[in-house]
Amino acid sequence: MTVVLAGVGADSTNLGALAPLYDDGRFEYVPIPEKTRETAETETLGSWDLRADDGVAADLTTRITPQPVHDGSETVAGDALESWPLHRDPNFAALTYGEHRTSGYVSRLRALEPGDVVGFYAGLRRPGGDRAHRYLIGYVTVEDVAVVGPETPPAERESILAAHPENAHAKRARDGDLYLEKPVVIVDGREPGGLFARDPIRLSDYYVKPGNERAQYYLRDEIAAEWNVAAGGENMMYKPAYRCALSGPAFRDLVGVPGARTAAERDRWTPDCCRQP
């Protein structure tokens, strides 16, 4: 009986920009750029269509520095930028998600059971408008969880990766070897789940907290209380993994089902300051 909220998507640290949130409630999901060209992923910054615009993901930036491929001074731009592959994670079409971050992610994700939920949040910005915030953009219902790492016997590792061909971590593995020498949790998802069509749920507030010198992003009190956030802290600046003591059905009752969310479900989590008069 668990929901894990995972921070995903391109942002200023990897793309140099946040994906847009439009005034009509539509938004873009842009995966982060891959760290390497050595991947089976066919989607690139130049092929990833924006959902509410005629452009592609490459139009959102002019250059990237896909660490650790480069040393911080060399950049990818122009035609090379458009052909750079994406790390499509989560893959909402295939309902698969992989993670190697150890700051609460691996431990919380590997404890998930069938019927639990992984919710995905990303930073979005209104073009020329209000401050950026963290928004829930979709989720998957858990079908199965697998863990693979350097310590996994080679034959077993190859078998696990082969069983998840649409997962971004499997796509950049070579001859059964993971790109990074870290354990990877692969979440196999099932419906109900997917990317929201519009009206993502704002999770953050931005303010100066007593004792801090500058404003930061914090989890909204209403979300923390009603979603029973039990772990992850309140500071959202560095995209923590949140664990919510909430069942999958209870979570879906709160946020709705992707592709079938009602107006009431979409409006329920709109902060009072942002409601239309």
Report phi then psi at 263, rounded to 5: -60, -40
pLDDT for the residue numbered 122:
98
Secondary structure percentages of the chain, helix, strand, coil, to 5? 20, 30, 50
Please tell me the least confidently modeled range out of 76-80, 109-113, 126-130, 229-233.
126-130
Residue 161: which H helix or E strand, with range? helix 154-162
Percent of the chain clearing pLDDT 90 (strictly above): 82
Q: How far apart are CA 134 and CA 105, in angstroms?
A: 17
Q: Quick check: 67 pLDDT over 70?
A: no
Spans of all domains in the chain: 3-256
Q: What is the pLDDT of residues 19-53, one digit of tens each?
A: 999 999 999 999 999 999 999 999 999 999 999 88
Query: Which among 72, 101, 78, 71 is positioned nearest to 6, based on CA atoms?
Result: 101
Q: Quick check: 69 pLDDT over 70?
A: no
Strands, E, within the chain: which ranges?
3-7, 19-20, 32-33, 63-64, 76-77, 86-87, 96-99, 117-125, 133-148, 184-195, 201-202, 204-207, 216-219, 229-231, 242-244
Span 112-119, mean pLDDT? 98
Q: Which pTM does this prediction carry?
A: 0.95
Q: Which residues pair with 145 in a beta bridge?
A: 187
Are 185 and 99 spatial neighbours (Cβ–Cβ below 8 Å)?
A: yes
Q: Quick check: 211 pLDDT over 60?
A: yes
pLDDT for the residue numbered 66:
79
pLDDT for the residue numbered 213:
80
- Residues ≥6 apart with Cβ < 8 Å to 139: 117, 118, 119, 120, 193, 194, 251, 255, 258
